[in-house]
Amino acid sequence: MTTFTMDPDWLPFHPSPSKPSFRLPEHSVDAHCHVFGPGAVFPYAPARKYTPCDAPKEKLWALRDLLGFERNVIVQATCHGQDNRALCDAIADSGGRAKGVASVSATICDSELAVLHESGVLGARFNFVRRLVDARPDHEYEALAERLARLGWHVVIYFEAEDLPDRFEFFADLPVTLVVDHLGRPDVSKDVDGPEFGLFLRLLRENENMWCKVTCPERLTRSGPPDYTDVVPFARRVVEEFPDRVLWGTDWPHPNMKSHMPDDGLLVDYIPRIAPTPDLQQKLLVDNPLRLYWPEENF
């Protein structure tokens, strides 16, 4: 049995999150969260860029119930590389209340993709954040995107805003439904009406196959918790302009946070600030994620 020691500067998830004041609508989905290990059962990848603390499925289910979510979308984290066993184990344990987004290699064969699909995986993540993964050639992503689209999957893309000008056409040309992580990671000290965020809004405007997670104020903020005042205009702009293509999630257990560890209950209380009406909340938390991840239920 391999044991792992978390990085010395690793911030563990909040030990006792508060119960939110905001009452989530019925059937709400936490559409971006992770499971880590436990490393003794599901070893972390040799090529990982960080070693986290274990964040097993049981803790995720407890958080789901405390916050008032019904379901989870678990996104494969880079510390597990392309070994999706911890993810699939969690989905299998969820009683139909979790779906997954995997990480897959360019050489994955159709039968392996079929096994993931059967397990409840409906998407793959393409990660372009250099501190998290080594670069892969674009043609690998293009070929994979075509294969995944045929399966009815979508692709989650994670990138930094400063890389968008170079990547704009590449993303626009990927022939698959795309979901952008964490608002495209804008620099929120800049103007929400400025050219940088304007480019991101243009990407969403010109490509109706693109969705956006309005997640991670805790990663983007400079003004800090719990109000994340500087992130609100960015997230709210996207929610209001693209109400049918937005998703929300906790990002528990919040990998690689350095400034602070959010209280997940207070993160839920932030939702009405970016989705101020019951109609927007229903789309963000229920209708959109169910349409993407539980299409078989025809809500």
Footprint of ligand 0GY on this chain (CB under 6 A)? 77-79, 132, 181, 251, 255-256
- On the 0-12 / 13-18 / 19+ scale of CB atoms within 10 A, 265 is buried
CB of 285 to ligand 0GY, least distance (A): 18
Q: Tell me whether residue 94 or residue 215 sits nearer to ligand 0GY (CB atom).
A: 215
Q: HEC string of 108-167?
A: CCHHHHHHHHHHCEEEEEEECCCCCCCCCCHHHHHHHHHHHHHCCCEEEEECCHHHHHHH
Token pair, residue 298, equals 């025809």
In the set 251, 263, 264, 279, the catalytic residue is 251
Q: Tell me whether residue 132 or residue 202 sits nearer to ligand 0GY (CB atom).
A: 132
CB of 253 to ligand 0GY, least distance (A): 9
Q: Is the peptide bond before 272 cis (omega within 30 degrees of 0)?
A: no
Residues 40 and 231: their CA atoms lie apart, in Å, by: 37
For residue 33, what are the β-bridge partners?
74
Q: Which residues contact 37 (CB under 8 A, 6 or more apart)?
A: 4, 43, 44, 52, 54, 55, 56, 86
Q: Tell me whether residue 79 or residue 239 sits nearer to ligand 0GY (CB atom).
A: 79
CB of 118 to ligand 0GY, least distance (A): 23
CB atoms within 10 A of CB 42: 20
Closest CA to 250 of 123, 124, 87, 66: 66
No. of helices (H) and no. of strands (E), the chain? 11, 8
Token pair, residue 19, equals 């119960």
Residues 188 and 235: their CA atoms lie apart, in Å, by: 10
CB of 85 to ligand 0GY, least distance (A): 16
CB of 78 to ligand 0GY, least distance (A): 4
Active site residue 279: no
Q: Known catalytic residues? A: 251
